[in-house]
């Protein structure tokens, strides 16, 4: 049996709390919340900081817990599909970043971009399974790619900045670029 890492467990709880609270920033205008995808940020960060298993668990818990506590997103089909989507983000981001030789901005992008694609595909498949014939390919592309461009941009800008700040604060091993790691 694997030993439980208390620090990663505590950080995961923090990321769950952030995932529950962050959507309140955009909740006043529901469209903005859907565009910026605030629950995605702590899940992706959890995958990067704590690893794939913790990232997946946080991704699975946040939308379901938020649905049960606050009623948003609606449990069916929204929160259920989001749980699978975010679990995929957390797992894939954490896995690819963990396997990366260098902990730098480039490694973050190499982990995030495939995770964002995989998560959206998984979310779309779950939506299609839950809604059956009511869910078309054009609805999938529109809801998971077209309408989420502002959130994608926000994540691609903000997450590397946060990782860099955590690295500069010596909270995680992280460098601005791979060259800095080669020199060390």
What number of other Cβ atoms are within 10 A of residue 134's Cβ?
Answer: 10
pTM above 0.85, yes or no: yes
Helix ranges, the chain (H): 6-21, 23-26, 30-36, 40-50, 52-70, 80-99, 105-131, 137-141, 149-168, 178-183
**Angstrom distance (rounded) from CA 76 to CA 127:** 9
Please, which residues have CB within 8 angstroms of residue 107's CB and are 6 or more apart in sequence? 97, 100, 101, 178
Each residue of 129-184: pLDDT tens digit?
Answer: 999 888 889 999 998 999 899 999 999 999 999 999 999 999 998 987 765 554 44
Q: Where are the domains of the chain?
A: 6-183
Is residue 69 within 8 A of residue 111, CB to CB? The reply is: no
For the chain, give the longest Cα–Cα distance: 56
Q: Going by CATH, does the domain composed of 6-183 fall within 1.10.1760.20?
A: yes
Each residue of 26-81: pLDDT tens digit?
Answer: 776 666 767 788 999 999 999 999 999 999 999 999 999 999 999 989 999 999 99
What is the DSSP-derived secondary structure letter of residue 22?
T
Judged by DSSP in three states, 169 sits in coil
- In the numeric block, which tokens belong to residue 54? 């913790």
**Angstrom distance (rounded) from CA 55 to CA 112:** 12
What number of other Cβ atoms are within 10 A of residue 115's Cβ?
Answer: 28
């Amino acid at each position: 049996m694997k030993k439980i890492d208390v620090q990663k467990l505590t950080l995961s709880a923090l990321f769950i709390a952030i995932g529950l609270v962050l959507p309140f920033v955009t909740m006043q205008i529901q469209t903005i919340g859907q565009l910026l995808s605030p629950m995605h940020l702590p899940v992706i960060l959890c995958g990067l900081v704590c690893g794939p298993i913790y990232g997946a668990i946080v991704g699975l818990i946040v939308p379901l817990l938020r649905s049960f506590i606050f009623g948003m997103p609606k449990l069916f089909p929204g929160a259920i599909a989001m749980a699978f989507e975010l679990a995929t983000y957390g797992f894939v981001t954490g896995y690819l970043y963990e396997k990366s030789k260098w902990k730098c901005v480039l490694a973050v992008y190499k982990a995030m971009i495939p995770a964002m694609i995989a998560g959206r595909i998984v979310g779309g498949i779950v939506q299609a399974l839950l809604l059956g014939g009511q869910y078309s390919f054009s609805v999938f592309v529109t809801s998971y790619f077209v309408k989420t461009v502002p959130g994608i941009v926000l994540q691609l800008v903000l997450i590397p900045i946060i990782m860099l700040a955590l690295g500069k604060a010596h909270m995680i091993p992280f460098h601005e670029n791979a060259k800095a790691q080669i020199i060390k």
